[in-house]
Amino acid sequence: MAKYFDEPSRTFSEYLLIPGYTGPENTPDNVSLRTAVTKYRKGQEEPALSMNIPLTSAIMQSVSGDRLAIALAREGGISFIYGAQTIENQAKMVARVKNYKAGFVPSDSNIRPDQTLADLLAVKEQTGHSTTAVTEDGTAEGKMVGLVTSRDYRISRMGLDTKVSEFMTPVEKLIYAKEGITLSEANDMLWDHKLNALPILDDAGRLKYFVFRKDYDDHKANPLELLDDDKRYIVGAGINSRDYAERIPALVEAGVDILCIDSSEGYSIWQERTIKWVREHYGDSVKIGAGNVVDGDGFRYLAEAGADFVKIGIGGGSICITRETKGIGRGQATAVIEVAKERDKYFKETGIYVPICSDGGIVHDYHMTLALAMGADFLMLGRYFAGFEESPTARLMVNGSYVKEYWGEGSNRARNWQRYDLGGQSKLSFEEGVDSYVPYKGMLSDGVRASLYKVKSTMCNCGALTIPELQDKAKLTLVSATSIVEGGAHDVILKDTSSTR
């Protein structure tokens, strides 16, 4: 006979936090959202990898590209570069993130001296950069012959057929450094000579890198940015349980910091085999998360298999229709609560704390706080990040409003059959996701900082200054359908503020 659960599975909107004592120290500025990402012996050691904010971006084509990965790392979180692409392309994305913050940045805006102003403007339009290296062959590592910035030309006074060599600043007049200089020394040269960009050349005069003043300024403006020991941004990547033997070595070579198996349902032999392969070939030096699961049995299976963290959630994403098509899943709040209980039980038995990630079901910012209070160590978000400028999709005007495209990995558009692989045919048999739009939300930094300020404020209302303290002190109550209605604006006539915007 089938097993039946007495309690229904519940969503975050069915819960509220009860305020606790707020002391004088409970101010948002004092709250730390630092959280563990990988398993560790709690009380005896620090985790190998932590985040400064409890947010990761979903392993989705419409969410996690290299540009968003850089923006999220600046805020203190981790993006998992999507795996539904060729191994080569995914590795290149990872490498771009790692190289971006090395301080020594490979040039991605290059031109030959015999090309024209029209060609230069096309390069600028493509890259968005005003500083362009002029090399003999127009490549990022060609012999440098000059540099062009926006101060070197006037479109209104020059013909578009003007050769770059006629208006560039020749290398003889440039201040540059030789390969081998330290980042600190390069930054000193930027400031001493009042430069915006410092080219780094090898002994043969070939361009190797740039060091930019804006990177120094960015560091000061982003105190929570997540960096590795070499001052490079932390980045993750999604993998599948089919081509991992070829994909993982390429990602490790590119510098990836952590992997995550991307699957709609993780309580499977395929994930155990993938983790086992990683441990056999890399030991504990390669960190790998697994999932998704929705109960204690699934968590324990993956924890015992060696997962560094376990992801929770089936069917709760805004573009996911797995529950409709297959009839499996669980309300996200109930899933997080149940898995958190098993996580704590596993810790008491083994001394090993395996972080858990809540993936899906976040509709409102306060749901973030609820998920953390219920036991999640960090969250994975798709729709939330898809609306920001830095996501990989196009910004469109639809019905008078700006939107961005957002589609599920199980949709016909993505056709990411590996995510739904059950060891059978190598194709997507039916859809488990939809193709949609989300409202455009501007820059990621503004949105994330606003959302997390709300999280911090709520934590202060609960008397907590850290995520573990919130989980220890939180008091949660179920709310009725009527209470949910009462929680919003009601019984008033709202003013139309559109005319004042």
Q: Which residues are catalytic?
A: 320, 419
Q: Which two tokens stand for residue 323?
A: 């529950």
End-to-end CA distance of the chain: 60
Residue 91 parent element (H or E): helix 87-100
Give 248's DSSP letter.
Answer: H
Residues 6 or more apart from 140 whose CB is under 8 A from it? 106, 107, 108, 110, 133, 207
For 446-496, what is the HEC assignment?
Answer: HHHHHHHHHHHHHHHHCCCCCHHHHHHHCCEEECCHHHHHHCCCCCCCCCC
List, in sequence order, the alpha helices (H) in 168-268.
183-192, 213-221, 244-254
Phi, psi of 75 (to 5 degrees): -90, -10
**What number of other Cβ atoms are within 10 A of residue 205's Cβ?**
15
**Cβ(292)–Cβ(266) below 8 Å:** yes
* Separate counts of helices (H) and strands (E) for the chain: 16, 22
Adjacency order of strands within the sheet including 401-407:
395-398, 401-407, 435-439
Residue 398 parent element (H or E): strand 395-398
Torsional sign, CA 42, 44, 48, 49: positive
In the block, residue with structure tokens 């953390």: 372
Beta strand segments in 250-299, E: 258-261, 288-293
Q: Which residues pair with 87 in a beta bridge?
A: none
Instruction: Give the chain's length.
Output: 501
Of 104, 129, 123, the closest CA to residue 199 belongs to 104
**Cβ(289)–Cβ(268) below 8 Å:** no
Q: Which two tokens stand for residue 271?
A: 């994930």
Q: Return the percent helix, strand and coil in the chain, to nearest 5.
A: 35, 20, 45
Of 149, 88, 96, the closest CA to residue 124 belongs to 149
